[in-house]
Structure 1
Amino acid sequence: MAVRGSATRRVPGNAMAGVLRDLNRQARVMKRRRDPDAPTEPMEPPRPAEPRRAPQLWSGPTATVATTDLFGQVRWDFPLPFEVAPVVSALAVADFGGPGDAVTAAILSVDEESVTVQVSIIGPGYVRSAREGVGVHLTAVRSTPVELG
């Protein structure tokens, strides 16, 4: 803690000196206090809270982890429909395949109520559907209409 006349206050051009001086002044000034015997203004009673309505359509982001079927596809039905087709992200996670193989997730269709994803294994010279049980991380976020032009 700084003391009056300390080195911090004596150095010309020291920005900290001004801060310490203001703190010292604020500590010495007594704040105005309200008279406890003064009459108070009557407060209006609080209004009752309006009941909240559940939204008819899904407006927040949602996510899930789904697994592929026999054909390497995933269909995810959203918990509640969106106003318009949402922005969807799909990430396939697989720990099999040979060196140089890649696992991809392609979004086949998206509408207000569901998304369909195809998971494929891509290797040197071939592309095949993923086997049953491959995990796919799916995220859907409400999209906002954009005017182009």
Structure 2
Amino acid sequence: MALRGSVGRRTAGDPLPAVLRDLDRKTRTTALSARGRQGDPGPRGEDGRDGRDGKDGRDGKDGKPGLPGEPGKSPLVAVVATAADGRATWVFPAPLAALPVVSALPVTPAPGGDVTYTVVLEEVTVEKVTVRVWRTRALLGLGLLPSVPAGADIGVHLTAIEPPAAPQLA
């Protein structure tokens, strides 16, 4: 029952003050009484004995080394220049056995400028790689403008690695 002049009387029809008051009472009672309904904890008992450790075993003999593996293939590398449309194609010296893993990095002709170059792999086959370089320029206050083809004579460093055969799962 609400007392005269209390929050419950002043905000008739609103149950929130009563809920907050009840919550406040519950938090105060549990915060002041860390024991709860139980009495003080009793004395701590003695710790039990530790068990004995067993003896370590002897080290085993090393086995024979395995057969040497096949030598790995060297990665293919090239530096190519873009054409007027921003594309560059690299034809491998010989067709590869599987699709290669390709990495492409643009070479900025004027480092430190406000132009950003991005390389996109457009086509990867066992015979060739085609990339396209895009140019983005920042304008003061406008952020980045849409990308446009970079144009001619932008260098691209390309690396192609032929992946090893997939291991057989047992």
Q: TM-score range by the shorter chain?
A: 0.5 to 0.7
CA distance in structure 1 between the aligned counterparts of 2:93 and 2:100, rounded to whole angstroms? 13
Look up the match of 1:143.
Answer: 163
Cα drift, residue 98 of structure 1: 8.2
Cα drift, residue 78 of structure 1: 0.4
Letter in 2 for 1:75: T
Cα drift, residue 111 of structure 1: 0.6
Cα drift, residue 61 of structure 1: 1.3
Superposed CA deviations along residues 40-82 of structure 1, whole A, max 9, x for unmatched, are xxxxxxxxxxxxxxxxxxx531101110001000000001111
Letter in 2 for 1:77: V
Structure 2: stretches of 5+ with no match in the other structure: 1-72, 138-143
Count of aligned pairs between the two proteins: 90
Check if 1:130 corresponds to 2:150.
yes
CA distance in structure 2 between the aligned counterparts of 1:96 and 1:126, rounded to whole angstroms? 20
Q: Are residues 97 and 134 of structure 1, via their aligned partners in 2, closer, same or farther at CA, if it must alter by over 3 Å? A: same
CA distance in structure 2 between the aligned counterparts of 1:133 and 1:121, rounded to whole angstroms? 13
CA distance in structure 1 between the aligned counterparts of 2:148 and 2:132, rounded to whole angstroms? 11
From the CA coordinates, give the structure whose radius of gyration is larger: 2
The SS at the match of 1:126 is coil
Q: Are residues 61 and 99 of structure 1, via their aligned partners in 2, closer, same or farther at CA, if it must alter by over 3 Å? A: closer
Structure 1: stretches of 5+ with no match in the other structure: 1-58
CA distance in structure 2 between the aligned counterparts of 1:88 and 1:94, rounded to whole angstroms? 20
- Provide runs of 4+ in structure 1 moved above 6 Å: none
TM-score, structure 1 as length reference: 0.54
CA distance in structure 1 between the aligned counterparts of 2:112 and 2:76, rounded to whole angstroms? 33
The SS at the match of 1:83 is coil
Superposed CA deviations along residues 93-126 of structure 1, whole A, max 9, x for unmatched, are 1224885431111101101000000000123122
Letter in 1 for 2:149: S
Residue in structure 2 matching 1:105, options 119, 126, 133:
119
CA distance in structure 2 between the aligned counterparts of 1:145 and 1:121, rounded to whole angstroms? 37
TM-score, structure 2 as length reference: 0.48
Look up the match of 2:75.
Answer: 61
